[in-house]
Structure 1
Amino acid sequence: MTQNIPGLHHVTAISGPPQGNVDFYVGTLLQRLVKQTVNFDDPGTYHLYYGNQRAEPGSILTFFPFVDAGPGRAGPGMASAVAYAVPKDGLNAWMMAMAGAAVDFDGPFERFGEQMIALTDPDGLRIELIETDRGTGAVAVTDAAPVDDGFHSVTLWLDNPDRTARLLTDVFGYSSTGEASDGGEKRYRFLAEGHGPGSVIDLITSDAASIGRQGAGSIHHVAFRAENDDVQMAWQETLRSQGYDVTPQIDRQYFNAIYFREPGGVLFEIATDPPGFATDEPMETLGQELKLPAQYESQRDRIERILPSITIPKRKAI
């Protein structure tokens, strides 16, 4: 395989009832609701996609909002945090905005030379805002603005990071760029070639006693980018040759996907950039209407009766 992984495509998590999820990610974090659709395996449950204004890979955080979901908990073998890139000198405006919205946060503090804060969404998912000039070209901001540079990173909590680190460096083409310790936690940073959106992966080990559990506030899987189907199929072949049990290609309507478990237990996906989120509605009006996979369109009336109604809060313009 000669083409390296360029970074994250999306991250998918689980939440409780959808309205609180929409209120937080659109109303508080100022993300764009990119797509309202349904879970392929459970069409009575939404699949909500949030992203930047252009709905670009590397900015997409998606949720399965199960109305009756029990609480989840991060632990070894799970992704434990998602971080957005904040423009250089823009963190203070975000701290003021969070304080004004009565959203508790930790920090600011420094990690690998970058200033950051950490908060949790309504279901307990850890969200980090990290100030960086990596790949943004952004200037200082004096107002909290939509996080339009996409992801900074995702954190994977592992019992032993060695084999996962080798997957990232020897197979995916990431570079190891640093290690840090904070009390009982050790953190190892890896950076994708090109330094684009979502190009950072952090692996952590921790002395904290926790047994991970899927549920509201937990991350379900982490998806990496493939330029197209040919590149994705080459990755499938490469990973199978490395002994990974990789699924066949699955059509997810807005991208094609393959899945496998990395050595530490986290579910990884490789997703194609095309066809993209404007394949079934104009870019200008993304996320305003419920879009169904073709196999469920004949059931639209029943599905719309089952799904909870949601109201999309106003989002600050870019």
Structure 2
Amino acid sequence: MMSHTIPGLHHVTAISGPPQQNLDFYAGILRQRLVKKTVNFDAPDTYHLYYGNAAAEPGSILTFFPFADAGPGRAGPGMASAVAYRVPRGGLDAWMMMLAEAAVDFDNPSDRFGDQMIALIDPDGLRVEFVETDIPDHPPLDEDTPVDDGFHSVTLWLDDAEPTARLLTDIFGYESGPETTQEGETRQRFTAPGTARGAAIDLLRSDAPSIGRQGAGSIHHIAFRAETDDLQMEWRERLLTKGFDVTPKIDRQYFHAIYFQSPGGVLFEIATDPPGFATDEPMDALGESLMLPRQHEPIRNRIEQILPALKQPAQTV
């Protein structure tokens, strides 16, 4: 029996439309750092863009597979339907002011489990939330500068939440928390012990009719953290003993990954902290150059001719 628990999220991966539009929104308007500009390992004619906080830390990384001709996706049961960033107490007003100045629509502030939050829809239809919450040891806020520190949570839309709830509590070590029901939706929060980024998972059951579809604006998978390779292998063995079909370890250059289908249909990954995003370029130059996995380096010229040029937006972290 492992005494260790999953500390929280490592990254979230979504699908988007044209890469420049995606870059302009996340690195420009939302002020995320472009952490890595690389390619889809399985389709090197497509970018894989990674955004994160200034230090490119696990729990802050939102990645996209941008397809210029991607059809629209749609959230539905069996999918992650929203990603939320955490904002320090008192920081939500600055975000609302910045979004308003950028002409980005967002919902009026609302209460969720005692915290104030806002939500917006990105250019491809992905729901992005900002939740004001306690962040340990966060430096004093500059009232004029919106600040986020990485993920707060993700929402999983499920027909039957119970099997995924058991996975989170009985295997990953999450604690079950409060539950609310309003307007045909029931939401329950599950939280990993500690204060790591992305420590919360919300399970949502909704009466809204929808058939989920992968496409632009949809979340492809969510990745949980394993601090070391040894811990990742322990998680793999534990999942196998519980009857889950888990992939072997896969080298993703910046982390090692294992994948399995959650009971509710959402694709789960467990990704390691090491080796990290500075393994192939300096920390102060992350995201400036096209970085290719080793197997694709011999065809760099061909890849660079196929990929559209990207211009870094002026408004960045």
TM over 0.5: yes
Q: Deviations over 1:49-84 (max 9, x none)?
A: 000000000000000001110000000000000000
Cα distance in 2 for partners of 1:141, 1:253 equals 36
2:269 is matched by which residue type in structure 1? E
Matched, 1:273 2:304: no
Equivalent AA in structure 1 for residue 126 of structure 2 = L
CA contact 1:94–1:143 (8 Å) conserved in 2: no
2:14–2:219: 8 Å Cα contact kept in structure 1?
Answer: yes
Look up the match of 2:182.
182
Unmatched 5+ residue regions in structure 2?
Answer: none
TM-score, structure 1 as length reference: 0.98
CA positional deviation for 1:93: 1.0
Query: Can you list the C-alpha shifts for 1:222-276, whole angstroms capped at 9, x where unaligned?
Result: 0000011110000000000000000000000000000001100000000000000
Q: What is the letter of the counterpart of residue 43 of structure 2?
A: D
Whole-Å separation in 2 of the counterparts to 1:138 and 1:113: 23
- After TM superposition, the structure 1 = structure 2 runs for residues 92-111 of structure 1, keeping only pairs within 5 Å, are 92-111=93-112
Matches for 1:193-212 after TM superposition, within 5 Å = 193-212=193-212
After TM superposition, the structure 1 = structure 2 runs for residues 207-222 of structure 1, keeping only pairs within 5 Å, are 207-222=207-222
Q: What's the offset of the Cα at 1:87?
A: 1.0
> Which of structure 1's runs of 4+ aligned residues deviate more than 6 A?
none
- The alpha carbon displacement at 1:138 in A equals 4.6
**CA deviation vs aligned residue, 1:126-154 (integer Å, no higher than 9, x gap):** 0001101143535444123342x110000
Instruction: Report the equivalent of 1:12.
Output: 13
Q: CA separation in 1, counterparts of 2:30 and 2:137? A: 18
Offset, 1:314? 2.6
The alpha-carbon distance between structure 1 residues 146 and 27, as it changes in their structure 2 partners (threshold 3 A), is farther
Aligned-partner Cα distance in 2 for 1:206–1:144: 36
8 Å CA contact 2:91–2:147 kept in 1: the answer is no
Q: What's 1:67 paired with? A: 68
Contact kept? 2:40, 2:48, Cα under 8 Å: yes
Equivalent residue, structure 2, for 1:80: 81
Aligned to 1:251: 251
The Cα offsets for residues 201-232 of structure 1, whole Å up to 9 and x where unpaired, read as: 00000000000000000000000000111100
Is 1:308 the counterpart of 2:298? The answer is no
Q: Name the aligned partner's letter for residue 280 of structure 1.
A: D
- Correspondence for 1:21: 22
Residue 315 of structure 1, CA deviation = 3.7
Deviations 1:152-191 (A, max 9, x none): 0000000010010010011000001110112101000011
* In 2: Cα distance, 1:204 partner to 1:259 partner: 22
C-alpha separation in 2, matches of 1:172 and 1:178: 18
* Structure 1 equivalent of residue 260 of structure 2: 260
Report what 2:132 is aligned to: 131
Match of 2:48, SS? strand
CA distance in 2, matches of 1:300, 1:136: 43
Aligned to 1:231: 231
In structure 1, what is the Cα distance between the partners aligned to 2:160 and 2:139? Answer: 37
Q: How does 1:161-176 map to 2 (within 5 A)?
A: 161-176=161-176
User: 2:296 is matched by which residue type in structure 1?
Assistant: Y
Partners of 2:121 and 2:115 in 1: CA distance: 20
Kindly indicate whether the alpha-carbon contact (under 8 Å) linking 1:134 and 1:196 is maintained by their aligned counterparts in 2: no
Count of residue pairs brought into register by the alignment: 316
SS at match of 1:83: strand
- Unaligned 5+ runs, structure 1: none
Whether the 8 Å CA contact 1:31–1:315 is kept in 2: the answer is no
Distance 1:282 1:193 in 2: 32
Q: So what's the TM-score if we normalise by structure 2?
A: 0.98
Q: Does structure 1 conserve the Cα–Cα contact (< 8 Å) formed by 2:98 and 2:146? A: no
User: What is the SS of the residue equivalent to 1:106?
Assistant: coil
C-alpha distance in 1 between matches for 2:15 and 2:211: 17
Question: What residue is the counterpart of 2:286 in the other structure?
Answer: 286
Read off the aligned partner of 1:305 and give its amino acid letter: Q
Write the letter of the residue equivalent to 1:256.
H
- Looking at structure 2, the residues matched to 295 and 79 of structure 1 have their Cα atoms a distance apart, in angstroms, of 31
1:98 offset after TM fit, Å?
0.8
Give the whole-Å Cα distance in 2 for the aligned partners of 1:218 and 1:313.
Answer: 23
1:112-131 superposed matches below 5 A: 112-131=113-132
